[in-house]
Structure 1
Amino acid sequence: MKEKKPRKSQTNMNIIGGLVLIIVPFLLTYLLNLIAYFAAFAIVFVLNTYMGASIEFDEKSFAGGSMPVNTVVMLFLYAMLCLIIFGWWYLVIKNNSSNNNESKKKTSKKGSLLKNAGLIIVFGYSFQLFIDSILNLVKKVAPKLIQEYDENIGSLVNNKTSVILMLTVIIITPIAEELIFRGVITTYSNKLFPPKTVIIISSVLFAIYHGNIVQGVYAFIAGIILGIIVAKTGKILPAIMLHVVINLSAYLVPDILFKNIITLLFTLVGSASLMFLVIYIIKYGTIWSKQTDITADNNDSKNGSKKSDAADDSSDAKNGSKKSDAADDSSDAKNGNKKSDAADDSSDSKNGSKKSDAADDSSDAKDGSKKSDATDNNTNKNNVSKKNNNINNRNKRKNVNK
């Protein structure tokens, strides 16, 4: 039976459905931002009116409206809503994909985060130094270009007294944003596009999400880096760690580094050098990416096969030498046995000839002695007979004389 090819209309519907799943999480963030705004206003109003709290509203209002807002409370509520909703969404997607791919074997070894935590910290802090150096350099050339950025970010970074704000900016927001862009959006994009396109899509959406040009530019660069990390490791946790380090570094960068052009340029060059050094170490010094793990495994297998072949050759050579030695020994033994047998035979033949000669001699001696004895007896008999004849003759003569 021939398998039926999917119709064009069906494939088009699948593509449209995939694009919707990519766009919906992005649009949902604006809806959650609106919900967080009204929830923050309601909470602050209730606390101030009915519980005697003195929470101040910011001078700005949401989207130019008349309702004031407390930025700290709103950001905290928004980050928590994103963390809960997209965290649940991402877990559902991962569980479904893992159930569908249970029979597939894992072909890569993922690097340990503990081993690479130091590299993540160095790279994150260097990246923040590099971005701040660029922004301060642009500020010296065109100060009006980043005026809006300074107003938005300065109110967050310079406020180091609010524990809730620092907790939100440093921990909750990075986790929530990674779950949105490198989690849900990236997972759905992987079903339609190749990895490079997926990284670009998530980075563009991440840049638009920040709402201004200056933040959008370095958010796009950061999105590329974070997307590469997720694509290489297959995990979202390294990207979350790097995002946390970058946001934390915004509170740790000293302003003295940007006071004059000389220190600014030194900071720019030094931070760029550190980033390239970390990239080099990750690429050639550690095992992070799937491709490097697979090539490393292939190299190990090749080297192992070569070693095993060499070991087999050496063992064969040893066995061959042993066998040849054994063969030589056996041949020597055989030749020795033959020689010994021949020597034994020759010695036996010599001994045999000697024995036979001795036997012949003894037999001849015996025969000679027997013959000599016989002749002696005969001579003795003849002598006796002669004596007897002589005696008889004498007796006859005596009788005649009488």
Structure 2
Amino acid sequence: MKNFISTLKFIINLIILNIFSSGISILFTCIFFKNPIKSTLISISLSYLIMFSLLYYFSTSYKYLISKDDFKKISIKNVYYIALFGFGFSVILSILTILLDSIFPSYTEISNKMLSQNDSIINLICSVVFIPICEEIIFRGMIFKFLKRYYSLIGAIFLQALFFGISHGNIVQGIYTFIGGIALALIYVYCGSMMGNIILHMIYNLCGLVIMPEYLFADESINYLFMIIGVIVFIFSSLKMISNYKKGSRIRLLNDQ
């Protein structure tokens, strides 16, 4: 019960802070941008910036959930496998999204609005670079690390993914971001650094918002080829990372002895 109360208090505090930051950023975009709807990604990015600033300057407990060690470098080989995994994972989740879209047709309008946001360099940078970094710091950094204090690793992975899915505000995004949240946390555990899950998140957003809409299912002749390549790449990269993680665990065990 104590763990539940601590978790609930932590999440509520972050939600209140996010609502306050979002309110300021929305007001800013409404005042300084002619079309606030087209500036949604800028508003979200500004909201995260305000939120982090408030956490840094006024919080004595939450800001220390993130340290320099969380951003240590990862090997080029891991970047390569993560990039492959990100592409394959994007293909699989894109297929899932299309299937869910047929069950929840209302998501089509949301999806079209999301894609229409990427019509400028600033919006593209926000969606592919800035927002992934901020979301990883919050969900895989602060929330995941906090949850690991009170729950098992599996429990922490599940809960942070659940919060990540709920935060996106609709059923379709909630489902695929929940699955994505699990994958992102596993990459974090695999790398021992947030650089891994940040790279994966960036690749996923790049593929999901730019590459996939342009090529996947745009031409029926390449549909199956895209899907086959995506699945093969996903399986290959997953097996390689699992193998590397097992080898690393054995080496750490021998060193401890």
Supply the distance in 2 between the matched residues of 1:224 and 1:281 (Cα, whole angstroms).
18
After superposition, what is the alpha-carbon deviation per residue over 1:319-364, rounded to whole angstroms, capped at 9, x for unaligned?
A: xxxxxxxxxxxxxxxxxxxxxxxxxxxxxxxxxxxxxxxxxxxxxx
CA gap of 1:20–1:292, structure 2 versus 1, over 3 A, is farther
Q: Partner amino acid for 1:226?
A: L
After superposition, what is the alpha-carbon deviation per residue over 1:169-213, rounded to whole angstroms, capped at 9, x for unaligned?
A: 111111111111111111211111000000000000000000111
Give the gaps of 5 or more residues in structure 1. 1-11, 45-54, 59-68, 99-109, 303-402
Q: Partner amino acid for 1:296?
A: I
Supply the distance in 2 between the matched residues of 1:112 and 1:76 (Cα, whole angstroms).
26
User: Could you tell me how far 1:73 is from its partner in structure 2?
Assistant: 4.0
CA contact (8 A) 1:181 1:206 kept: yes
Task: Give the structure 1 partner of residue 45 of structure 2.
Answer: 76
Q: Partner amino acid for 1:294?
A: S
Supply the distance in 1 between the matched residues of 2:167 and 2:139 (Cα, whole angstroms).
10
TM (norm. structure 2) is 0.82
Give the gaps of 5 or more residues in structure 2. none
Task: Give the structure 2 partner of residue 293 of structure 1.
Answer: 248
**Larger RCO, structure (CA 8 Å, separation 6 or more):** 2
Task: Give the structure 1 partner of residue 188 of structure 2.
Answer: 230
CA contact (8 A) 1:182 1:202 kept: yes
Give the match's secondary structure for 2:151. Answer: coil
Task: Give the structure 1 partner of residue 162 of structure 2.
Answer: 204
Supply the distance in 2 between the matched residues of 1:57 and 1:79 (Cα, whole angstroms).
17
CA gap of 1:179–1:85, structure 2 versus 1, over 3 A, is farther
Q: Partner amino acid for 2:248?
A: D
Give the match's secondary structure for 2:106. Answer: helix
After superposition, what is the alpha-carbon deviation per residue over 1:94-118, rounded to whole angstroms, capped at 9, x for unaligned?
A: 45xx9xxxxxxxxxxx983322111
Of 69, 72, 87, the match for 1:125: 87
Task: Give the structure 2 partner of residue 164 of structure 1.
Answer: 122
CA gap of 1:201–1:123, structure 2 versus 1, over 3 A, is same
CA gap of 1:255–1:136, structure 2 versus 1, over 3 A, is farther
CA contact (8 A) 1:40 1:77 kept: no
Of 190, 198, 204, the match for 2:148: 190
Task: Give the structure 2 partner of residue 279 of structure 1.
Answer: 238
Task: Give the structure 1 partner of residue 76 of structure 2.
Answer: 114
CA gap of 1:84–1:273, structure 2 versus 1, over 3 A, is farther
CA contact (8 A) 1:146 1:214 kept: no
Q: Partner amino acid for 2:251?
A: A
Q: Partner amino acid for 1:75?
A: I
CA gap of 1:30–1:292, structure 2 versus 1, over 3 A, is farther
Q: Partner amino acid for 1:257?
A: L
TM (norm. structure 1) is 0.55
CA contact (8 A) 2:164 2:177 kept: yes
After superposition, what is the alpha-carbon deviation per residue over 1:51-91, rounded to whole angstroms, capped at 9, x for unaligned?
A: xxxx2344xxxxxxxxxx84244233224324545677665
Q: How many residue pairs align between the two structures?
A: 251
Q: Partner amino acid for 1:134?
A: L
1:248-287 aligned within 5 A? 248-250=206-208, 251-253=210-212, 255-259=214-218, 263-284=222-243, 286=244
Q: Percent of counterpart pairs with the same letter?
A: 22
CA contact (8 A) 1:136 1:258 kept: no
1:311-390 aligned within 5 A? none
Q: CA RMSD in A?
A: 3.2
